[in-house]
């Protein structure tokens, strides 16, 4: 019988992790939010409070509700603080060795029947699970940026995952007000397999120089009906993340459409990662 999920741990408080904390806390769950240092934990707290303050100032959230939401979250810099969690979701950088380390540590901290989830957008869930002590309790729970706004959660299952666990995570996603889709572990899962080839093609189109970045974005936004133009979306997602997904997709499929464009690779090397570094295809304050 799957355990009742009341306390959720989130590890890694960057853009995605902080957004995921907000989603869980807004849905009434207790959250223990952990990053590697006190400064990173504070940065995560800052992301949460700024996002909620923005909602208050736009008249979308009562100040008292904001305080209740913040009150459900404990920020910490030690994984041991997750010992009471029913579910831990990891949202750390996309490097297998970092994830494996965190999952190995969590294996020794959380209860036998607690769930280990990953928000990975590019790595193999099967490989992550295979490195843990109980692979059957590992599952993907992939949110989309901005996590508090976008409704999709991909629930990623592996050969180890039992139906009861995927059912429990599907129900949890619904409890969060999200729309889950269940997908087995394949490069890019579903959404990124579709989206990232489109974004890579947009970068290649921009590289040819026959259209300006603004006009290219307008074509995607006004002609194709997506909420943002492709280059603006690249900056939102992070060019490093896009490159990682391109690499994984290309290595798995050898589909030339998924090959990372030269400009993308160069921008990543140059540290122009998009909004999070203040500069990508556009510049940000
Ligand atoms: N955190 C919290 N709320 C946010 C937010 C954020 N970062 N950004 C926007 N919002 C909220 C706003 O407060 C606003 O809320 P209300 O409607 O309640 O007022 C709402 O979202 C709309 O925002 P805006 O009016 O400022 O702007 P918008 O209408 O242009 O919407 C957007 C902004 C939601 C980002 C929209 O442009 C959008 O959906 N863009 C596409 C994003 C997308 O495709 N993301 C998927 C990326 S792929 C991915 O993440 C997976 C991966 O693994 C790479």
Nearest CA to ligand 1 atom 36: 227
Long-range contacts of 244-249 (CB under 8 A, 24+ apart): 244/94, 244/121, 244/122, 245/121, 245/122, 245/188, 245/192, 245/196, 246/196, 246/200, 247/122, 248/122, 248/123, 248/187, 248/188, 249/187, 249/188, 249/192, 249/193, 249/196, 249/197
Nearest CA to ligand 1 atom 23: 149
- The pair phi, psi for residue 25, each rounded to 5°, is -65, -35
- Record the tokens describing residue 40, joined without a space: 């990173």
pLDDT in the model for residue 111 = 96
| Ligand 1 environment, Cβ below 6 A | 51, 58, 60, 121, 144-146, 148-150, 192, 195, 227-228, 233, 237, 241
Atom of ligand 1 nearest to the CA of 238: 54
| Catalytic residue selected from 22, 154, 166, 244 | 154
| Catalytic residue selected from 94, 142, 166, 244 | 142
* 3-class SS string, the chain: CCCCCCEEEEECCCHHHHHHHHHHHHCCCEEEEECCCHHHHHHHHHHHHHHHHHHHHCCCCCHHHHHHHHHCEEEECCHHHHCCCCEEEECCCCCHHHHHHHHHHHHCCCCCCCEEEECCCCCCHHHHHHCCCCHHHEEEEEECCCCCCCCEEEEEECCCCCHHHHHHHHHHHHHCCCEEEEEECCCCCCHHHHHHHHHHHHHHHHHHCCCCHHHHHHHHHHHCCCCCCHHHHHHHHCHHHHHHHHHHHHHHHCCHHHCCCHHHHHHHHCCCCEHHHCECCCECC
Angle between helices 38-57 and 15-26 (to 10 degrees): 60
| Cα(225)–Cα(228) distance, integer angstroms | 8
How many A from CA of 151 to the centre of ligand 1? 10
Q: Are 179 and 144 in contact (CB under 8 A)?
A: no
ipTM above 0.90, yes or no: yes
The DSSP bridge partners found for residue 118 are: 90, 140
How many A from CA of 227 to the centre of ligand 1? 9
Atom of ligand 1 nearest to the CA of 226: 41
| Catalytic residue selected from 51, 118, 119, 121 | 121
| Cα(269)–Cα(266) distance, integer angstroms | 5
Q: Per-residue confidence of the chain (285 residues) as pLDDT tens digits?
A: 567 899 999 999 999 999 999 999 999 999 999 999 999 999 999 999 999 999 999 999 999 999 999 999 999 999 999 999 999 999 999 999 999 999 999 999 999 999 999 999 989 999 999 999 999 999 999 999 999 999 999 999 999 998 899 999 999 999 999 999 999 999 999 999 999 999 999 999 999 999 999 999 999 999 999 999 999 999 999 999 999 999 999 999 999 999 999 999 999 999 999 999 999 999 998
Atom of ligand 1 nearest to the CA of 142: 53
Active site residue 244: no
How many A from CA of 213 to the centre of ligand 1? 20
Active site residue 192: yes
């Amino acid at each position: 019988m799957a355990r009742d999920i009341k306390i959720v741990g989130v590890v890694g408080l960057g853009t995605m992790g902080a957004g995921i904390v907000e989603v869980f806390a807004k849905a009434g769950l207790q959250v223990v939010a952990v990053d590697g240092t006190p400064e990173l934990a504070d940065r995560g707290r800052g992301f949460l409070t700024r996002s909620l303050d923005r909602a208050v100032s736009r008249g979308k959230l009562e100040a008292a509700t904001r305080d209740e939401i913040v009150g459900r979250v404990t920020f910490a810099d030690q994984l041991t603080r997750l010992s009471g969690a029913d579910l831990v979701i990891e949202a750390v950088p996309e490097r297998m060795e970092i994830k494996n380390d965190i999952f190995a540590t969590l294996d020794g901290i959380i209860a036998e029947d607690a769930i280990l989830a990953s928000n990975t957008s590019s790595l193999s869930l099967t490989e992550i699970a295979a490195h843990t002590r109980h692979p059957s309790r590992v599952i993907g729970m992939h949110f989309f940026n901005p996590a508090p706004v976008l409704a999709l959660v991909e629930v990623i299952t592996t050969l180890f995952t039992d139906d009861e666990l995927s059912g429990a995570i599907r129900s949890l996603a619904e409890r969060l007000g999200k729309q889950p889709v269940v997908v087995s572990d394949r490069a890019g899962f579903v959404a990124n397999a579709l989206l990232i080839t489109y974004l890579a093609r947009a970068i290649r189109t921009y590289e040819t120089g026959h259209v300006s970045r603004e006009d290219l974005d307008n074509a995607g936004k006004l002609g194709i009906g997506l909420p943002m133009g492709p280059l603006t979306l690249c900056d939102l997602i992070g060019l490093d993340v896009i490159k990682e997904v391109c690499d994984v997709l290309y290595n798995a499929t050898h589909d030339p459409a998924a090959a990372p464009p030269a400009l993308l690779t160069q921008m990543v090397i140059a540290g122009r990662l998009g909004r999070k570094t203040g500069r990508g295809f556009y510049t940000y304050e």
